[in-house]
Amino acid sequence: MTVAAARPLLEVQGLVKHFPIYEGLMFSRRVGAVQAVDDVSFSIQAGETLGLVGESGCGKSTTGRLILRLIPPTAGSIRYDGVDLQALEPEAMRLKRRDLQIIFQDPYGSLNPRMRVEDIITEPLVIFGEKPGPALTKRARDLLETVGLASFHAKRYPHEFSGGQRQRIGIARALASHPKFIVCDEAVSALDVSIQAQVVNLLQDLQDEFKLTYLFIAHDLGVVKHISDRVAVMYLGKIVEVADKRTLYRQPLHPYTQALLSAIPVPKPRARRARMVLKGDVPSPINPPTGCRFHTRCPYAKEVCREIEPPRIAIATGHEVACHLVKAG
Amino acid sequence: MTEASSNIGYAPELDETPPQPWAFWRTDTFQRLIRHRAFMVGAVLFAIVALVGALAPLITSVDPNALSIRNKFKPPSWEYPFGTDNFGRSQLSRVVYGARLSLGIGLGVLVLNAVFGVLLGAAAGYVRKLDGPLMRVADAFMAFPAILLAIGIAAALGPSSMTAVIAISVVYIPRTARIVRASVLVVREMEFVQAALASGATHYRIVRKHVLPNCMAPLIVQLSFIFAYAVLTEAVLSFLGLGAAPPAPTWGNIIAEGRTYMREAEWITLIPGIVLAVTVLSLNLLGDGLRDVLDPRLKVQQG
């Protein structure tokens, strides 16, 4: 893929989200902030899939929601197709939402239990003024068939479906308004492995068919490897390494990425390999470590890591790492 | 095969049974309700009282306010099944028409509570800035004992059945609003609300289509209890002379008028008292049943 070819479809610059913590009931004061996302930048080319991986609580989902402006960022800019989404008036943003969609993690919580499947999946269309009628019903049935369900499912309620089927309904809803960009927020994490494979394949087929661009958020590196073109690794609100899939999985440079990759189970019981096991827990994002945020758990940490935050530097074309121990060239 | 219908990858289990059209009596909720014994007892009792009230002119042809001094203080007999009072009025007619008045007032309170409780509760739960102010006002109202507040409002507005409706509603609306707010706070954080937001839904649409329909169960349960409290409070207000003006046959009025003659003609107070108690009991049973079935957090195992 030629990187310099065109303007990226999505460009995130210096994205920051701090959730303030208040104390006291009547006269509350701000006592701190959860630094969920801190200075995150990346870009996604049209038609590409960027995998975003990291441990629980590292800010992956928050990043996804910030991009869709479901929560307001503390700082930073999000440019979609050259338009700064933050600068849009609420109404203009609402109209932009046709192009940007999201698939949620929880197939049980993401469908309104009081609505029929056909009303759920055509809601994005009804919102933008399409009138209920035979055309809309037909569209609902087509969408259901596109995601591998049957058209006679349209009249049913969400509780009549299994988790995997519900996730397909969620995908059908995300496709309804012909979006160009979809955030898959742990879209397969809640599913059984066999169903995961089906849904991941479905997402890939849909990408080819409708020329979609994905931000694929997950904590399962195997799934990310399968679907992504490029992968960004997040740790405690920061992106520590970005590279195209092949490079990242073959030659991870950041110690955290190395640790993550060595944790992927290998389906060979007798295989021996060097496991890199991290000690301790993820530090609290309320009071993140100074310098490199990973230094408290990094087996190679040096003095400089404790004091100075490493900048993200390009090691090779498209391969960026934020680590003092990795030198350019 | 058209492009859109290219079935990608996945064969759904093919149970082609066409889904039957939705009908309330086919739902699981309804099936559980009719198997709930307490609910059915309450529902049947309440249905009887409500029917009697609604069909009052068909049940008794005697005007509840027709005086007949010659027949005063008649104990229950074939001619006067519930006896007569100190003016010789047929107690049967008075109690039957009383059902109409009392339940009418209860229904008025119910409707006002549903409308304003939902509006205020949704506003407080969905709009963060309104939550604090609205709930502090609700706290202020709820700091008064219910009966005392109702008496105060009814006394300030002057006695009539309309005042009774308003006074009782004002007492219970903060409580309803609180319950709606609590549900809204839970539902607004659910992912399908985020999904609607991401699809470009307006806040009005989100509240109406996504939040409120999922807050109905606790509201329905609460309203059934409010109906019971309203009937009871109305009886108290008219007993104290703050409800509908005296010749009107509300249960509270009948009991108030009969209490002077309790020793000589106990049926005057006893019968409307029993009817009132049965009505309130039936609504409480009904509410308990609804809560068991609709509110899964309080679900109890039924043997």
Q: Are A282 and A55 in contact (CB under 8 A)?
A: yes
- Find the Cα–Cα–Cα–Cα dihedral A222, A226, A229, A233, rounded to 10°: -10
Residue B110's pLDDT band, with cuts at 50, 70 and 90, is: very high
Q: Chain A partners of B14 at a C-beta cutoff of 8 Å? A: 150
Tokens representing residue A148 in the block: 């591998």
- Give the residue among A163, A171, A165, A167 at the shortest CA–CA distance from A149: A165
Kind of pairing, strands A319-321 and A238-244? Answer: antiparallel
Q: Are B250 and B241 in contact (CB under 8 A)?
A: no
- Gap between the Cα atoms of A57 and A63, Å rounded: 11
- The CATH number covering residue B231 comes to 1.10.3720.10
Q: Are B172 and B226 in contact (CB under 8 A)?
A: yes
Q: Chain A partners of B205 at a C-beta cutoff of 8 Å? A: 127
Share of chain B above pLDDT 90, in %: 32
CA atoms within 13 A on the CB side of A202: 31
- Find the Cα–Cα–Cα–Cα dihedral A130, A134, A135, A137, rounded to 10°: 80
Q: What is the predicted pLDDT for the residue at B295?
A: 65
| pLDDT tens per residue, range A233-278 | 999 989 999 999 999 988 889 999 998 888 887 777 777 777 777 8
Q: What is the predicted pLDDT for the residue at B16?
A: 53
Kind of pairing, strands A230-235 and A238-244? Answer: antiparallel
pLDDT value at B302 more than 80: no
Residue A49's pLDDT band, with cuts at 50, 70 and 90, is: very high
Higher confidence at residue B11 or residue A51?
Answer: A51
Rounded to two decimals, the ipTM of the complex is: 0.84
| pLDDT tens per residue, range A140-150 | 999 998 888 88
- Give the residue among A195, A202, A245, A196 at the shortest CA–CA distance from A225: A245
CA distance B80 to chain A (A): 52
Mean pLDDT of B111-133: 92
Residue B16's closest chain A neighbor by CA? A152
Judged by a CB distance cut-off of 8 A, whether residue B296 touches chain A is no
Judged by a CB distance cut-off of 8 A, whether residue A300 touches chain B is no
Q: What is the predicted pLDDT for the residue at B256?
A: 86
Tokens representing residue B40 in the block: 């059915």
Mean pLDDT of B158-179: 90
Q: Chain A partners of B15 at a C-beta cutoff of 8 Å? A: none
Domain extent for B227: 38-58+90-298
Residue B25 forms part of a structural domain: no
Residue B216's closest chain A neighbor by CA? A114
Tell if the CB–CB gap between A106 and B213 is shorter than 8 Å: no
Mean pLDDT of B266-294: 87
Q: How many domains does chain B have?
A: 1
Q: What is the predicted pLDDT for the residue at B300?
A: 46
List of residues 6+ apart from B76 with CB closer than 8 A: B82, B83, B267, B271
Share of chain A above pLDDT 70, in %: 97
Strand arrangement of the beta sheet that strand A238-244 belongs to: A100-103, A181-185, A213-218, A49-53, A230-235, A238-244, A319-321, A313-316
Tell if the CB–CB gap between A70 and B197 is shorter than 8 Å: yes
Q: Are B196 and A123 in contact (CB under 8 A)?
A: yes
Q: Are B211 and B193 in contact (CB under 8 A)?
A: yes
| pLDDT tens per residue, range A286-305 | 888 888 888 888 888 888 88
Mean pLDDT of B81-100: 83
pLDDT value at A115 more than 80: yes
Mean pLDDT of A81-87: 88
| pLDDT tens per residue, range A209-242 | 999 999 999 988 888 988 999 999 999 989 999 9
Residue B141 forms part of a structural domain: yes
- What does residue A314 show for φ and ψ, rounded to 5 degrees? -85, 120
CA distance A165 to chain B (A): 8
List of residues 6+ apart from B19 with CB closer than 8 A: A152, A155, A156
Residue B10's pLDDT band, with cuts at 50, 70 and 90, is: low
- Give the residue among A67, A18, A309 at the shortest CA–CA distance from A185: A67
pLDDT value at A51 more than 60: yes
The mean of the pLDDT values for chain B is: 83
Mean pLDDT of B175-179: 93
Q: Which of B5, B10, B197 sits opposite A142 (nearest CB)?
A: B5
- Find the Cα–Cα–Cα–Cα dihedral B60, B62, B65, B67, rounded to 10°: -150
SS3 B73: coil
Look-up: residue for tokens 């089906």?
A: A198
List all residues of chain A from 192 to 221 with a beta carbon under 8 Å from chain B. 198, 201-202, 205-206, 209
Q: Are A105 and A190 in contact (CB under 8 A)?
A: yes
Give the helix ranges, DSSP H, for chain A.
60-67, 90-96, 117-127, 134-146, 163-176, 193-210, 221-227, 245-250, 255-262, 303-307
> Which of A48-52, A179-183, B62-66 shows the lowest mean pLDDT across its residues?
B62-66
pLDDT value at B214 more than 50: yes
The mean of the pLDDT values for chain A is: 87
Q: What is the predicted pLDDT for the residue at B296?
A: 56
Higher confidence at residue A57 or residue B152?
Answer: B152
Residue B151 forms part of a structural domain: yes
Residue B7's pLDDT band, with cuts at 50, 70 and 90, is: very low
Q: What is the predicted pLDDT for the residue at B206?
A: 93
| pLDDT tens per residue, range B43-64 | 999 999 888 888 878 877 777 7
Mean pLDDT of A41-64: 90
- Give the residue among B248, B302, B262 at the shortest CA–CA distance from B64: B248
- Gap between the Cα atoms of B102 and B49, Å rounded: 11
Q: What is the predicted pLDDT for the residue at B17?
A: 57
- Gap between the Cα atoms of B277 and A282, Å rounded: 62
Residue B287 forms part of a structural domain: yes
Share of chain A above pLDDT 90, in %: 33
Residue B17 forms part of a structural domain: no
